């Protein structure tokens, strides 16, 4: 089934022009659809159509998918009156982009930015149990029994956490580990470690589902997902 969208809405979503600007550009003959001047701003187009606006070639995409290496100090939101948001980092962004889930302000690493609500719901749904792996650095030594405590599913107060996988990488005054969780409760990893006597001092998401953060992507940078990476997200084993 072909998905149609109004020309003005498509260009507005893509951040190419406001609906008012599209209407004015159409009147002046500055928007071409497949080489033909658009007759009105509300004509229907598809992803197969070629658009030229003010001499610039565009290709409408219904969905866009980005891998962002989130830096510290940026919040996982679309807009904020005081703080810089993760979508602010996407230059020339379309207006309907949003982060899939959230990372705490001081947490870094993999964050997916998209406008595909169905995929986001699938990745975040508690019943899907999508795995998320983090690198964590904590104060103090991690007791060996912590692996068993986490794998059994730790209980904190009245809240029960699902089983998690812990791999200790370094055990010293400052210890390092990788932890894989299958849910995304508020401050979950920090609370889990605090419950066993370790304070988290650094947290980085390494992967979500089968998608792993590109090691060559600097903090604060982003890129579009490849088709292979997108399939890794959509079809998980």
Name the pairing type of β-strands 108-114 and 200-208: parallel
User: Is 215 among the catalytic positions?
Assistant: no
Determine whether 104 is exposed, middle or buried from the number of CB atoms within 10 Å of its CB (0-12, 13-18, 19+).
middle
Query: Which residue among 42, 49, 104, 106 is the active-site one?
Result: 104
Of 126, 129, 214, 213, the residue nearest 165 (C-alpha) = 129
Name the pairing type of β-strands 211-212 and 132-139: unpaired
Asked if 63 and 114 touch (Cβ cutoff 8 Å), the reply is yes
Residue whose tokens read 């089983």: 163
* Cα distances (angstroms) measured from residue 216 to each of 103, 174, 203: 20, 26, 18
Query: For the chain, how many helices (H) and strands (E)?
Result: 6, 17
End-to-end CA distance of the chain: 27
Q: Which residues are catalytic?
A: 104
């Amino acid at each position: 089934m072909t998905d149609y969208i109004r020309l003005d809405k498509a260009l507005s979503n893509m951040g190419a022009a406001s609906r008012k600007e599209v209407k004015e550009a159409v009147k002046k003959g500055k928007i071409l659809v497949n080489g033909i001047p658009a007759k009105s701003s509300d004509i229907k187009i598809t992803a197969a159509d070629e658009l030229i606006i003010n001499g610039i070639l565009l290709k409408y995409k219904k969905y866009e998918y980005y891998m962002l290496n989130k830096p510290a100090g940026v919040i996982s939101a679309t807009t904020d009156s005081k703080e810089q948001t993760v979508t602010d980092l996407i230059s020339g962004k379309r207006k309907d982009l949003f982060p899939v889930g959230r990372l705490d302000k001081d947490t870094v690493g993999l964050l997916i930015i998209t406008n595909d609500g169905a995929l986001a719901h699938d990745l975040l749904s508690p019943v899907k149990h999508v795995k998320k792996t983090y690198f964590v650095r904590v104060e103090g030594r991690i007791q060996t029994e912590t692996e068993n405590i986490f794998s059994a599913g730790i209980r904190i107060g009245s809240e029960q956490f699902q089983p998690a996988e812990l791999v200790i990488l370094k055990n010293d005054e400052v210890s390092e580990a990788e932890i894989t969780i299958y849910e995304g409760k508020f401050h979950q990893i920090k609370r889990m470690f605090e419950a066993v006597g370790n304070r988290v001092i650094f947290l980085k998401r390494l992967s979500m589902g089968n998608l792993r953060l590109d090691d060559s992507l600097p903090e604060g940078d982003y890129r579009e997902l490849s088709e292979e990476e997108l399939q890794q997200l959509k079809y998980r084993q």
